[in-house]
Structure 1
Amino acid sequence: MIVIPAIDLKDGECVRLRQGEMEDATVFSDDPLATAEHWLSQGAKRLHLVDLNGAFAGNPVNSEAVKIIARQFPGFPIQIGGGIRDLKTIERYLDAGVTWAIIGTAAVKNPQLVKDACREFEGHIIVGLDAKDGLVATEGWAEVSDVKATELAKEFQDSGVSAIVYTDIARDGMMQGVNVEATMELARAVQIPIIASGGVSSIEDIQQLLEAGDDNTEIFGAITGRAIYEDKLDLRAAQELCDNWKK
């Protein structure tokens, strides 16, 4: 399993939200590039970038900051989500050096876009499923649909999706621990690699995700944000735990 630091961008700054509320943002840095450099120095194997303004606007807002990071670290694995609603946006990000584009809201409202994107940009598409009580939320979590996360995930089983980022909204930014049960349920429902997100707040959470895996199903990655910014989780120690993990 890999531990993936999150860099959430709002108005050009690195922030963390609580339960996706834009009004409840904590600013951790006004320099996204320096933040990315820091996490790389701590042993990060991948970066998770989110354009928060873009998620609400429906189109990229902080794309320049994303491109600066991608250009600074050519070839380093970077995934970006927020405001990605068409093929042209995906193309621009990939051309800038980003490795994966995350389709979130559009995956719910226009599943065909995911299939088209996977065909057009093979190996570079991730689906972001944000859920509350097992139901998918969209528009920067402002709307909760009647679609079950597991059912939507199955729709993309044979589309060529590289991974699914599964976020439990109720836990995100709340430092309450990851929803291991729901994450494993999704992992068992599909053959797509699952990246856990929301509530990863301590080394114990990382260990729980590792312990939940078995010979048939395991969690591919875990995204962490507030915990590493508030020094509640040591990124290097967490990744070392994963690298040395044996059941």
Structure 2
Amino acid sequence: MIIYPAIDIKGGRAVRLLQGRADQETVYATDPAEVAKTFQATGSPWVHVVDLDGAFAGSPQNLARVEAIAQTGMQVQLGGGMRDRETIERALGLGVSRVVIGTRAAESAEFVAEMVQAFGEKIAVGIDAKDGQVAVKGWVDTTGVGAIDLAKRMDAIGVQTIIYTDIGTDGMLTGPNFAAQEEMADAVSATIIASGGVSRREDVIGLAEIEKRRPNLGGVIVGKALYEKRVELSDLLAIAKT
């Protein structure tokens, strides 16, 4: 299982939002690349980056910051405003390893299929759910589409990685929705990266236990718990290797 330490960028700064609400923001660093370097020094090969301004605006707003992170040599998984081919190509051209399509995936399976055909494993789909229903546009709108149904459609067109975020737990430090993550892993063959709610090392251990039953639960994104020092990245990386 891969640990993905997270950097959310808003206004050029590394922040965390509570349940994705723009008015519930905590600033943790003014230079996201410096945060990435601390993750890299700890031994993490990957970093999960979200351009929050891009998610709300519909197109990336912090690509200079993203490029600086990519220049550290880390593998960057980027989401936020990835809604057309030109934007995706631009991000990959900056050194991003994997682009996460969220809102557009809920709107057009055809678009995702085209991107998978063009870029293969460099394309991931982000499914953000509230009460099992897909939310889009920075979690502002809910769609009425079931998260599992969308995941199955994405799996069928060849998406290899799905990032599944339970909005109800994101940023709350209350623990992941283990049942929802296992249900998602059981429903598809794509690799599932769990996101939302990790607050302690036992949460990662719990997800690792699910991985034993569902080997395609291949990763977990950890954000606020790292910034508030509730967990140590080195410890989580060690757990993930066992």
Shorter-chain TM-score: what band?
over 0.9
Q: Are 1:118 and 1:160, in contact at CA under 8 Å, matched by a contact in 2?
A: yes
Q: Which one of 137, 144, 148 corresponds to residue 146 of structure 1?
A: 144
TM-score by length of 2: 0.97
Secondary structure of 1:56's counterpart equals helix
- The two structures have a TM-score, normalised by structure 1, of 0.95
Q: Give the residue type in structure 2 aligned to 1:210.
A: A
Residue 217 (structure 1) shift: 3.6
Matches within 5 A, 1:52-71: 52-71=52-71
* Equivalences, count: 242
Q: Percent identical across equivalent pairs?
A: 43
Name the residue aligned to 1:206.
Answer: 204
1:34 equivalent in structure 2: 34
Q: Please give the residue correspondences for 1:236-247 in structure 2 after superposition, counting only pairs within 5 Å.
A: 236-244=234-242
Amino acid at match of 2:107: K
Residue identity matched to 2:179: E
CA contact (8 A) 2:121 2:161 kept: no
Partner of 1:81: 79
Structure 1 gaps, min length 5: none
Q: What displacement does 1:213 show?
A: 2.8
Partner of residue 7, structure 2: 7
Q: Which runs of 4+ in 1 moved over 4 A?
A: none
The CA distance in 2 between the partners of 1:60 and 1:66, in whole Å, is: 10
Counterpart amino acid of 1:67?
E
Q: CA RMSD in A?
A: 1.1
Q: Deviations over 1:90-129 (max 9, x none)?
A: 1011111100110001100122111110011122100000
Aligned AA for 2:58? G
Partners of 1:234 and 1:50 lie apart in 2 by: 21
Query: How far apart, in 2, do the equivalents of 1:210 and 1:131 lie?
Result: 22
User: Is 2:20 aligned against 1:23?
Assistant: no
Secondary structure (helix, strand or coil) at the match of 1:60 reads coil
**In the TM superposition, what is the alpha-carbon distance from 1:218 to its structure 2 partner?**
4.4
Q: Is the 8 A contact 1:202 1:233 kept in 2?
A: yes
List gaps (5 residues or longer) in structure 2: none
Distance across 2 between alignment mates of 1:71 and 1:32: 12
1:111 pairs with one of 92, 109, 112: 109
